[in-house]
Chain A
Amino acid sequence: MPIRDKHEFKVSFLQVLDEDGRVDKQLEPDLSRDQLLELYRGMVLAREADQRMLRLQRQGRLGTFSPSTGQEAAACGPLLALGKADWLVPAFRELGALLMRGVPFNRVLRFWGGWEEGNVFPGVDRTLPIAVIVGSQIPHAAGLGYAVRHRGEKDTAVLTFFGDGATSEGDFHEGMNFAAVWKAPVVFICQNNQWAISTPLNKQTVSESIAQKGLAYGMPVLQVDGNDALAMYRAAKEALDRARAGDGPTFIEAITYRLMMHTTADDPSKYRAEGEVDQWERRDPLVRFRKYLGSKRLWNAQKEEQLRVEVKQYIDDQVKEYETPIDVKPDIIFDLVRGIAHELIEEQRAEFLHRLNDENEDADA
């Protein structure tokens, strides 16, 4: 009995804009002028806000945070395809996605400044807080997808992000499998930025790609140039449409690069070569997109200048709001964990406040 081939799998790669901003006309998505400019503004805002956060951290005005410079296209492109009824389930390196979603920058600052209030996004629905615990949000996204289906919500999808490091976590595999088995309307985007803190990709996995891991769970996969905002939009749009149509989850691997440190508490020069960073700086997603806008006669130096001024003003105002004192409410965590009150939680709150009171009395004694 001869051995015969039974299944063959392949992983495709999508790029729409090349590194010099040249577009593939066949693949170019049909986006309006306003949509293109919204996407570019989102990326510029994310970059400027990220750089501002780094300075604030160095000045002691912000806690540790995870910079996203270089990964704006991977985070912002898909957001253009995300609707208000859809869910956004972020990890911790999607500043651009949160800002495009309409989360006020001061809330992101509050989060990284250690305020529980940074987990609350006023006026923005269906958006989960930043998830610092690696991969923890993946089963949440699968569960949300299942709930959406269970409740019979039509035309609703869930978009979640995570990094290459998360794909080594059990949560990733459990979440992917559940979503596939349940045909949950979830789009999984792995921002493969080549480094999990100081662990390079070749020590993370020996798979040819991260994308192929999705094949094992029986869902469509696509590898995308993650520094190409148009490709990221296109891939996410198709996946979200498929999810909303009831055709189940999709796994997208965005090939990108973290140009800065993992968090402000580490020094990448201690674990990676400078040449590698230079190589990726040439693939900057903003430069490429700006060239594309220029070639469509939608952009020029004057407009760029106006945008930078507008974005800086917004950031300045938001920083000011962040630094405006608000009352410290130590028991706020008991408000935020559950949607509706529960007697056990209320019992814990009472005990917590009681202890806090005792401590304060001791300290004043």
Chain B
Amino acid sequence: MTEEATVFEFKLPDLGEGIHEGELLTWHVEIGQVIDEDAPLVDVETDKAAVTIPSPVGGKVLELVGSAGDTLTVGEVIARIETGDGAASAAPAAAPPAVAQRESAPADSEAAPAPAAMVPPQPAAPAGPRRGPVPAAPATRRLARELGLDIAQIPGSGPAGRVTREDVQRFAAGGLEPVTAVAPDDESAGTGAAPSGIPFFELEPMPDFSQYGAIETKPVRSIRRKVARKLATSMIVVPHVALMDDADVTELEVFRRRERRTDERRLSLLPFVVKAITECLKEHRMFNASLDPQREEIIYKQFYNIGFAADTPRGLIVPVVRDADKKSIIEISAEIYELAVKARDGKIEVKDLQGSTFTITNIGPLGGTRLVPTINYPEVAILGMGRAKPQPVVRDGQIVARTILPLTLAFDHRVADGADSARFMSALVRRLSDPLDWLLAMKG
């Protein structure tokens, strides 16, 4: 070893098994700082876990790539560290790959190692006509064979150009150009948009807004990204229909206001609606279902977990009241309060956000008169509650002031029809408009 300074380039390793990217959470060092070998360098969150990566070498930090919130790709250089002042310059920087490479093995096994950071970079996907064997799993090869396709012609979107099942299906549907005809751009291997296969559907690149005025860009991350994906899927996949109605909640409001509690735990309209919804779902089970387009099946759920949209400092999330049909209104109220507090404080657990069968969004208290909500895919329907307020209505030929709650039911027309939705809505409005009658008919 010479005393000469060398620069160690640290490439983001595969932190799990088959991880392609991670979100940068925080750097533990600053540029110019000296870091010891094995001291914490950076925190990165992948699909599987948030982990602290220790520095593989000791030395002076010359460059750190990216800042919190950025997406880092496995294999990309994320830090440059100057080593060589004697001690820190030991093996790793100069050492050839220690982790065995299995260049000829296309399929990963559990014990297959992560590609080492010290491995010289390899092209992510072949840019021209393919040479050598096509990487693909046996099941994918079989699918291609059964469809009478030559797998060598199918462009692969997987890691290292691997042909996936979806690639074969898209290719079979005519959505992809064969590899040999025109060499596709390399973008299919990375984060670039894969061809969608939906006719007339093409995302055009954003115009350069900065030519018109000042802009600020922020990455779409975590909750925002999840919400965006889910709702885009819902809007593209599900034929939405929205039915609107009003519930006269004058009597229910009188009843509700008798409760003495005055703090934020006071009963709101929401738990009443949650309870009423569970009964309506039992009577009209297609609204407590999901359509599986791949299997061409409708899945009817025999549990009633009601999600409610919560506005938190970090964005929209939907906590779930489990088995709401088995709980009293007062229990549902308490649970909604607890979940909302957890959501607000960022302490909600993943299990509190899973398994909903129907969702309610209660925009009323915040503003607006009514809204057409987007279905929380893959559920069949969502109820939007507007603001309950006194309105002039006609009763027995007279104009009287009543408290009106505007309701919108958006539903998946593949599963339910307009008539179903009208019956569902009537059942709901009936309960909310005549609480005494509802109470008398209520089952355990």
Task: Report B98-142 CB contacts with A as 1/0, cut-off 8 Å.
Answer: 111110100000111111111000000000000111000000000
Task: Please report the C-alpha to C-alpha distance between residue A55 and residue B111 in the assembled complex, in whole angstroms.
Answer: 18
A362 touches B132 (CB 8 A): yes
Which residue of B52, B115, B131 contacts A60 across the interface (Cβ within 8 Å)? B115
B51 touches A359 (CB 8 A): no
A363 touches B100 (CB 8 A): no
Q: Which residues of B contact A55 (CB under 8 A)?
A: 38, 54
Q: Which residues of B contact A60 (CB under 8 A)?
A: 11-14, 56, 99, 114-118
Most buried by A among B48, B90, B91, B111: B111
Q: Which residues of A contact B51 (CB under 8 A)?
A: 58, 267
Q: Which residues of B contact A325 (CB under 8 A)?
A: 95-98
Contact segment of A61-69, A71-79, A187-195, A278-286: A61-69
A114 touches B14 (CB 8 A): no
Task: Please report the C-alpha to C-alpha distance between residue A62 and residue B118 in the assembled complex, in whole angstroms.
Answer: 11
Task: Please report the C-alpha to C-alpha distance between residue A288 and residue B290 in the assembled complex, in whole angstroms.
Answer: 54
A154 sits at the interface (CB 8 A): no
Say whether, besides A55-B38, A270-B350, A356-B104, A363 and B131 are in contact (CB < 8 Å).
Answer: yes
B48 touches A265 (CB 8 A): yes
A113 sits at the interface (CB 8 A): yes
Q: Which residues of B contact A63 (CB under 8 A)?
A: 99, 111-114
B112 touches A114 (CB 8 A): yes
A324 sits at the interface (CB 8 A): yes
Which residue of A114, A266, A320 contacts B111 across the interface (Cβ within 8 Å)? A114
Q: Which residues of A contact B118 (CB under 8 A)?
A: 60-61
B100 touches A320 (CB 8 A): no
Say whether, besides A58-B15, A58-B52, A267-B49, A323 and B113 are in contact (CB < 8 Å).
Answer: no
B17 touches A64 (CB 8 A): yes
A78 to chain B, nearest CB (A): 25
Say whether, besides A267-B48, A267-B50, A356-B104, A61 and B98 are in contact (CB < 8 Å).
Answer: yes
Tally of A-B Cβ pairs under 8 angstroms: 110
A218 sits at the interface (CB 8 A): no
A330 sits at the interface (CB 8 A): yes
Task: Report A26-62 CB contacts with B as 1/0, cut-off 8 Å.
Answer: 0000000000000000000000000000010111111
B24 to chain A, nearest CB (A): 15
Say whether, besides A266-B48, A362-B131, A59 and B117 are in contact (CB < 8 Å).
Answer: yes
A61 touches B16 (CB 8 A): no
A328 sits at the interface (CB 8 A): yes
B92 sits at the interface (CB 8 A): yes
Task: Report A130-152 CB contacts with B as 1/0, cut-off 8 Å.
Answer: 00100000000000000000000
Task: Please report the C-alpha to C-alpha distance between residue A270 and residue B51 in the assembled complex, in whole angstroms.
Answer: 13
Task: Report B262-303 CB contacts with A as 1/0, cut-off 8 Å.
Answer: 000000000000000000000000000000000000000000
Task: Report A316-332 CB contacts with B as 1/0, cut-off 8 Å.
Answer: 00011011110010100
A204 sits at the interface (CB 8 A): no
B96 touches A132 (CB 8 A): no
A322 touches B98 (CB 8 A): yes
A59 touches B132 (CB 8 A): no
A114 touches B54 (CB 8 A): no
B136 to chain A, nearest CB (A): 15
Which residue of B50, B111, B132 contacts A359 across the interface (Cβ within 8 Å)? B132
A113 touches B13 (CB 8 A): no
B110 touches A132 (CB 8 A): yes
B53 sits at the interface (CB 8 A): yes
Task: Please report the C-alpha to C-alpha distance between residue A59 and residue B16 in the assembled complex, in whole angstroms.
Answer: 12
A212 to chain B, nearest CB (A): 31
A113 touches B113 (CB 8 A): yes
A328 touches B100 (CB 8 A): yes
Q: Which residues of A contact B102 (CB under 8 A)?
A: 114
Most buried by A among B12, B49, B113: B113
- Chain B residue nearest to A59 (CB atoms) is B56
Q: Which residues of B contact A359 (CB under 8 A)?
A: 104, 132-133
Q: Which residues of A contact B97 (CB under 8 A)?
A: 325
B54 touches A362 (CB 8 A): no
- Chain A residue nearest to B74 (CB atoms) is A60
B92 touches A61 (CB 8 A): yes
A312 to chain B, nearest CB (A): 11
A266 touches B53 (CB 8 A): no
Task: Please report the C-alpha to C-alpha distance between residue A324 and residue B118 in the assembled complex, in whole angstroms.
Answer: 13
Q: Which residues of A contact B100 (CB under 8 A)?
A: 113-116, 328
Q: Which residues of A contact B53 (CB under 8 A)?
A: 58-59
A107 to chain B, nearest CB (A): 13
Q: Which residues of A contact B17 (CB under 8 A)?
A: 64, 265
Task: Please report the C-alpha to C-alpha distance between residue A59 and residue B133 in the assembled complex, in whole angstroms.
Answer: 31
Task: Please report the C-alpha to C-alpha distance between residue A320 and residue B1 in the assembled complex, in whole angstroms.
Answer: 14
Task: Please report the C-alpha to C-alpha distance between residue A359 and residue B131 in the assembled complex, in whole angstroms.
Answer: 9
**Besides the known contacts A58-B52, A59-B56, 11 further A-B residue pairs in the complex with CB atoms under 8 A apart:** A58-B51, A59-B54, A61-B116, A113-B98, A113-B99, A113-B113, A114-B99, A114-B113, A132-B110, A267-B51, A362-B132
8 A-B pairs with C-beta separation under 8 A: A59-B10, A59-B54, A60-B14, A63-B112, A64-B110, A265-B17, A267-B48, A325-B96
